[in-house]
Chains A and B, each alone.
Chain A
Amino acid sequence: MKIKQLILQNFRPFYGRHTLTLTTTEDKPLVLIKANNDVGKTSVFMAIYFCLYGRLPLAYRGTNPREDLARHANRTARVKGNGRTFVKLIFEHKGKIYDIIRSIDFRKAELGELPEIESEGLDVYEGGEPQHFKDIEEYNDYIEAILPEDASQFFLFDGEDIQKYTQHPPTEDVRHAIEMVLGIRELLNAREDLEVIEQELGRDLNNFLAKVAQRSTEAKAVQELGNEIDKLREENRQLEKKMEELQEVIKSCDRELMKDMAIQEKVNERAIKEQEKARARDEIAAIKEEKRDFNRHIGVLLVNPLLEKLSEMGVSQVPDWKRTAISALLSWESDTCICEREITPEIRARFEELLDKKFEERPVEFLGERAVQLLLRTEGKALERRFYELESRKAGLETGLAACEDEIEKLNKEIGEQKDLSFDIRAKETTRKNAADDFETYRRKRDENNGIITEKNASLERMRNKLVDEEQMNKDIKLKSQHLQSCKDCKSAINVAIESLVDETRKEVQQLASDIFVNCLTNNPKLYRGIEITDNFELKIKTVAGTTLPVWIQAPSAGQSQIIATSFIAALNRYTAREAPVVIDTPIGRLDPVHKNNLIKYYPKIGPQIVILYQPNELTDTDIEPIGKYVSSEWHMTRDPANPDATIISKE
């Protein structure tokens, strides 16, 4: 960064518009601005700072920023009326021209009173293009990237104020500023950030690993659940196998039962037929018995007409064959009557007695009487009906019997000697019932298992869905692990870089500061060997006597301290990572003539652009003469003769 121009309007003592052209060249890096006390040197210094950072340097800040702003309004201007304070800084940075314009609109104020600020303005142009910032933070980022405010203390400073770098061990703020100027702060911040990132990545990796562990547990649970489902499915397969076997048993039972029941039906039918047959036989026998009684009567009835005829005709007229037949009939030596009834001895005896008694006397009459008696007792037609009825019944029964026998024979042909199957059927029915009961039990168990399988499958599905793809997870872990490793490696590398940079930079700055101090600035080079800079950027003085003590302990004079600090700042500027102008207010302060001359001679070497704001007592024309060839421009600020409250700037 190199300042080209500073334009001031109604800023502090500068009433109206004033322009300071501060352009320098490589061989003329100096700009001198001379002014008596209380004319405006510090205001120029303040204007540059205010334009860059929107506020005053720390040493000049009041308690109320608004009042600080109001104080920028030129006294003459604010008394005259409403107006505008305006500071424009034009500078070059890395090949581009920047314009930063700060303005303050103020209201008229009475003499001795601060004006009311109406508005503030900030306009920035980069390469002629207006820059837009959404807020002040964004602008701060913008300007800090050009020259950090913290680092500016080594570029824009009051010569009498720099003794602070020697009087006490540097505060943390100063140390940070030095680190920033030297480019170390970035690495320290990077190390801090990488430590945080390393922790975050470690946590991320741990979380991934924990997830994997959890996934492992979940995967195991899924596996176990899967095994349980498989076990249930296997159990169901066994159940279904048993059910199939039972179905076969049931079917077999059904088939056999159907067959047995068909047979049994025929067995039963045959039994019924047997019973019918037996009944028919019994009835036929009864009919035969009844017929025998009937025959006894009917025999007489049949003989009776014969006997009546015989009685009418007389025995002599009866043909021999008929008489023989009757005699044979009467004298028939048989145990069976013509009615087929058995003639027991008792019956025969009785019959013979009757025959003997009556037959000898008049046998035909006797028989005839007997027949008449029978006829009287039984009507002939009734006997006849009875006869045919019996015959009919007998014939019917015999037909039924024959039918029964046919049926029985037919059944026998069908079922052979098959006996009653009721027991077998009951046994098979029991077997079938048991099989059906078992089947139902297994079916219920299978259905219950299917329900459980469905539920478990749903759980399994949910658990599976919860599991992220294993391969992706492993990939993530690998990536995270690599990420962590790269973080660790970068952090280690940055640590090495910090150690190296701090050490080398410190040595470089230390060497530069020592050279500047011993060879250029000190008034007693034979007493000092140089400046030592500790790791914490504490300044120590090395004497030829061999002592190395902190500057603030060695307690040199104020001038000597200023020279040491200047040496340090000059070294920093020579070695800085920041390119910036050096603007020194009150450069000489309390330096003795030797120190002053040394310092003046050294000014051109401090940096590429040095603006020196001095009062005539600090630097005389004689003092300036040795560095005259390095001066690009000289400016003189004086009170306006017409307005003692205003400063005018003129180029010499």
Chain B
Amino acid sequence: MSSEQHIKKVLRTAEAKFNLREGVLTEIYNAEARVVHKGKRRNIRVDLRNILITALKEDDKK
């Protein structure tokens, strides 16, 4: 299994453990991957906030 596949598997497992919407951690990961080289200059918190809004499954929004 490649590192990329392994990361996806680990993220899926974590999503399931915390009852998160499938793929949300991958979205966060990909957002970070786009700017990973930027160090402190990266500024994707707005993107992350938007991802987080849809992070919880509908059933959990009570």
Contact = CB atoms under 8 A, between A and B. Distances in A.
Nearest to B33: A186
Contacts of B28: 190, 194, 490, 494
A489 interface: yes
A492 B13 CA distance: 12
Interface residues of A, number: 42
B20 A490 contact: yes
Given A489-B55, A493-B15, A496-B14, A186 B32 contact: yes
A201 B45 CA distance: 11
Q: Determine chain B's interface SS by DSSP, over half rule.
A: helix
Interface string A503-521: 0110010000000000000
Nearest to A148: B37
B48 A193 contact: yes
B13 to A, nearest CB: 7
Given A500-B13, A501-B6, A504-B6, A490 B49 contact: no
B48 to A, nearest CB: 6
A150 interface: yes
A233 interface: no
Interface in B1-52: 2-4, 6-7, 10-11, 13-15, 17-20, 24-25, 28-29, 31-38, 42, 44-45, 48-49, 52
A486 B52 contact: yes
Interface stretch (A11-19, A79-87, A177-185, A329-337): A177-185
A436 interface: no
A113 interface: no
A180 B20 CA distance: 25
A602 interface: no
B45 A193 contact: yes
B3 A576 contact: yes
A483 B49 contact: yes
Q: Determine chain A's interface SS by DSSP, over half rule.
A: helix
A308 interface: no
A180 B3 CA distance: 12
A482 interface: yes
A489 B19 contact: yes
A59 B28 CA distance: 34
Contacts of B18: 489-490, 492-493, 496
Contacts of A183: 3-4, 7, 29, 33
Nearest to B32: A186
Contacts of B14: 493-494, 496-497, 500
A230 B25 CA distance: 57
A197 interface: yes
Interface bin, chain B: 35 or more
A180 B49 contact: no
A577 interface: yes
Contact of A197 (B6, B10, B48): B48
Nearest to A186: B32
A490 B6 contact: no
A429 B37 CA distance: 100
B48 A482 contact: no
Contacts of A486: 20, 52-53, 55-56
Interface string A6-34: 00000000000000000000000000000
A240 to B, nearest CB: 53
B10 A501 contact: yes
A190 B53 contact: no
Contact of A483 (B6, B17, B24, B53): B53
A206 B53 CA distance: 18
B7 A149 contact: no
Given A141-B35, A487-B52, A493-B15, A193 B44 contact: yes
A505 B52 contact: no
B45 to A, nearest CB: 6
Contact of B52 (A490, A501, A508): A490
A313 interface: no
Contacts of B29: 183, 186-187, 190
A467 to B, nearest CB: 26
A485 interface: yes
A148 B42 CA distance: 14
B7 A494 contact: no
Contacts of A575: 2-3
A140 B42 CA distance: 13
A196 B44 CA distance: 11
A189 B6 contact: no
Contact of A194 (B19, B48, B56, B61): B48
Interface of B: 2-4, 6-7, 10-11, 13-15, 17-20, 24-25, 28-29, 31-38, 42, 44-45, 48-49, 52-53, 55-56, 60-61
Listed from nearest, the 10 A-B pairs whose CB atoms lie closest are A144-B37, A486-B55, A186-B32, A493-B14, A148-B37, A577-B3, A497-B14, A493-B18, A486-B56, A489-B18
Given A189-B32, A193-B48, 19 more contacts: A141-B37, A144-B37, A148-B37, A150-B37, A183-B3, A186-B33, A194-B28, A197-B49, A483-B49, A486-B52, A486-B53, A486-B55, A486-B56, A487-B52, A493-B15, A494-B28, A500-B14, A504-B10, A577-B3
29 contacts: A145-B34, A148-B37, A183-B4, A183-B29, A189-B32, A189-B35, A190-B31, A190-B48, A193-B32, A194-B52, A197-B45, A200-B45, A483-B53, A485-B56, A486-B20, A486-B56, A489-B18, A490-B18, A490-B20, A492-B18, A493-B18, A496-B14, A497-B10, A497-B11, A497-B14, A500-B13, A504-B6, A505-B6, A575-B2
